[in-house]
Amino acid sequence: MQWLAWQLPCTEPAPGLPAAAQGWWALRFTPHVALLDEALLLEVGSTERLWGGRAALQALLRRAAPDGTDAPQDDCASTWASGPTALQALALLRLKRMGCAPPQRLPHGLPLATLTALRPHALALQQLGCRSWGDVRVLPRAGVARRFGSACLQALDQAWGDAPHTLAWITLPEQFALELELPALAESAPALLWAGQRLLDALQGWLRARHLGVLALALSWRHDLRRLDGVELPPWHSLQLRTAEPLQGMAHLRRLLAERLAHERLAAPVNRLALRSLQTAPLVPACHDLLPPAHDAAQGEPWHQFVERLSARLGAHSLQVVRLRADHRPEAMQHWHPAVAPPPEAAAGLLYPTGWPQGYPPWLVRPPQPLSLQGHRPCLQGQPLCLLAGPQRVESGWWDGDGGGTGQGLAQRDYFVAHSVAAGNVWVFRDRASGAWFLQGVYA
Amino acid sequence: MAVSLSSLAVPGVWRGDAWAQASQQVLDTGHGPLNAQLPGGGWPLGCMTELLLPPHARCEWPLLLPALSRLCREGAGHAVLVAPPLEPFAPALQAAGLPVQWLCCIRPPAPGADIAAAWACEQALRCRDVRAVLAWLPQLATPQLRRLQLAAAQHRQLLWLLRPEGARAQASPAPLRLWLQPQGGALRVQVLKRRGPHATQPVVLPAQDAQLTAMLQAQAWRRRKAQADAWGMATAVPPQEVGHAVAGLAAALH
């Protein structure tokens, strides 16, 4: 058995967070994790071989531990201690925190104050001449039990490893749902981000221990006021975040949350914040290459994160991808969809199995721009157009109904390639129903 | 110091008279005469390329499509269009060889659109699945131009910035600046700035695709023939007929 004790960054957990949440991050390394007094105790003897030995595991744990303390980085070593039993590890950690060197003989030389069960009786024991655990241990057991209670003896037995020590192991909840009381009323949405960060950290620990990635989560906040200016307020307001690939790293989610919160306006001051995971998926760990990565290996964020982040800031309809449709009306040949949730590739090869015909203009004018007439010739920007090629007749779209003049519906058109001195080659059509001319495309 | 200059091979450093063989990553433009004018022989990667256009001229696609199509097809990455002036017509781009499923269009909402577009452009350069960025940013201050150039250089991305030709008198951090002028059926490309000697002669490229040119020629010939027939004169040899969307759509349906 080998035990590690880790000093919790803050002994008082944030109001609303369960105390066990402070130990979730360690469940990735060993299933035996428990909270005892001000420390987190980890039984690592059973799993250290899986992590490549004791030293490797300790280095990993040091790196993985959340650094909630404002202690400098070189102080990291003073938050860890190891011992053969849980109570010895804890006692050594307390010694380290007090700045004392560990005693020559373990565990006999440990001072009384490092064992919680002996603390209430420290003064009486000192007056008996006892300075260390070993001094108490050699006293007659019956007398000690009568004077100080059997709890002292049991704690000493557990510290020596003679009696079993049952700890309340930390277990993970099935679903992630946490609520947090805010330390102060939040007046603006970005102020929620700081508290949201703590919830995201807890979520990350939960995900790591369960080997899951999160796909969707909901952040909700509770309004402090029931009504404002005579308007009833809903008690809770929530916001959903979704991502395309299961994620464990919180950097992307934090950026998404910041973008979304920047657009939110709080209806009233907020006093509670809750985070719930809506959808999770098993995470496939990244496969590392045997060879070192190439020098010019692509760095930067992947496409889906880029799209989600920009859509969160600019709006989903600002980023669009195009899908082709088999149709003869140019405005119906392509449809733009939000890039966040693109529809699957359509079978655009139905109409043109050998590829799209050449000769369309690369720019489309939507909606078609009406052209004025000089006599019978259409004019663009006051200059008459010279028709170079055409007509190409398109009569299609009867199935879309009349459309009410929105461009949809039955189109009866003659298309021409026309030239204007000012605008170069353009693509115009004459609506056969009304006889009006329209500009629909621009060549170079 | 007996080191001859020719034996020094530092990436990104070359002798002034050997600018055409400059050792930098480039992408073939698909236009031979233009390649000859660019250092390294193509569009430079990791570098902002500024294209200056007259107002209302939309002649960027014929210039960029050959390189862009090959890049998207081979690299299997996205091409991002930032704030295009009109709606790109995907069937035409698909016909020119650009796989349009890789195309992504960013149109920032109206208030503060310029700043948002520049920001989106920079973010796109940072994304590892983006192969090329085309940005139409007419109003952009020099600090933002510099940011874009730095982002392109840092992430080795292709960035084409399209600006009005009025900006050609202003200084710019772009290492390559081209001035495009459509002239009839041709496109005059004047290299204003490059990592090499000053270019004196403009390059003349075809401004429209070959199919459209052939179709217009065929139509003009038909018109002349009809006139000549009416006047009772002999006609010239007809140009070769080419199938075309406008002329031959009915044929494609069968």
- B214 at interface of A, judged by CB pairs closer than 8 A: no
Between A128 and A66, whose confidence is greater?
Answer: A128
Average pLDDT, chain A: 84
User: pLDDT band at residue A296, thresholds of 50, 70 and 90?
Assistant: low
Rounded Cα gap, residues A140 and A128, in angstroms: 13
Asked if B245's CB is within 8 angstroms of A444's CB, the reply is no
User: Would you call A29 exposed, middle or buried from its count of C-beta atoms within 10 A (0-12, 13-18, 19+)?
Assistant: buried
pLDDT score, position B5? 58
A107: preceding bond cis by omega (within 30 degrees) = yes
Asked if B108's CB is within 8 angstroms of A314's CB, the reply is yes
SS3 A240: strand
Residue with tokens 């075309």: B244
Q: Are A370 and A364 in contact (CB under 8 A)?
A: no
Q: Is the pLDDT of residue B162 over 70?
A: yes
Q: Is the pLDDT of residue B252 over 50?
A: no
- B247 at interface of A, judged by CB pairs closer than 8 A: yes
Nearest to A299 among B62, B92, B128 (CB): B128
Q: What are the backbone angles phi and psi of residue A295, rounded to the nearest 5°?
A: -65, -40
b/e burial code for range B144-167 (CB count within 10 A of at least 16 → b): bbebbbebbbebebbbbbbbebeb
User: pLDDT band at residue B8, thresholds of 50, 70 and 90?
Assistant: low
Asked if B156's CB is within 8 angstroms of A296's CB, the reply is yes
Q: How far apart are the first and last CA of chain A?
A: 78
Top-confidence range, A350-354, A396-400, A401-405: A396-400
Q: Is the pLDDT of residue B12 over 60?
A: yes
pLDDT in tens, A338-383: 988 887 776 545 556 666 677 788 899 888 888 888 888 888 888 8
Asked if B104's CB is within 8 angstroms of A321's CB, the reply is yes
Write out residues 151-190 of B within 8 Å (CB-CB) of A.
Answer: 155-156, 182, 187
pLDDT score, position A43? 92
pLDDT in tens, B180-214: 988 877 888 999 988 888 888 888 888 777 777 78
Q: Is the pLDDT of residue A406 over 70?
A: no
- In order of their start, the domains of chain A are 3-68+76-160 (no CATH), 177-226+235-282 (3.30.1490.100), 361-442 (no CATH)
How open is the CA angle A175-A176-A178, to the nearest 5 degrees?
Answer: 135
- In order of their start, the domains of chain B are 20-206 (3.40.50.300)
pLDDT in tens, A108-120: 889 988 888 888 8
Nearest to A363 among B87, B156, B215 (CB): B87
pLDDT score, position B80? 93
Nearest to B245 among A309, A318, A358 (CB): A358
Q: Are A321 and B101 in contact (CB under 8 A)?
A: yes
Q: What are the backbone angles phi and psi of residue B243, rounded to the nearest 5°?
A: -65, 140
- B25 at interface of A, judged by CB pairs closer than 8 A: no
Average pLDDT estimate for A174-178 = 88
Nearest to B216 among A303, A358, A417 (CB): A417
Q: Are B185 and B213 in contact (CB under 8 A)?
A: yes
SS3 A319: strand
Asked if B216's CB is within 8 angstroms of A300's CB, the reply is no
Rounded Cα gap, residues B69 and A146, in angstroms: 90
Q: How far B1 CA sits from the closest chain A CA (Å)? A: 32
- B46 at interface of A, judged by CB pairs closer than 8 A: no
Nearest to A303 among B58, B129, B252 (CB): B129
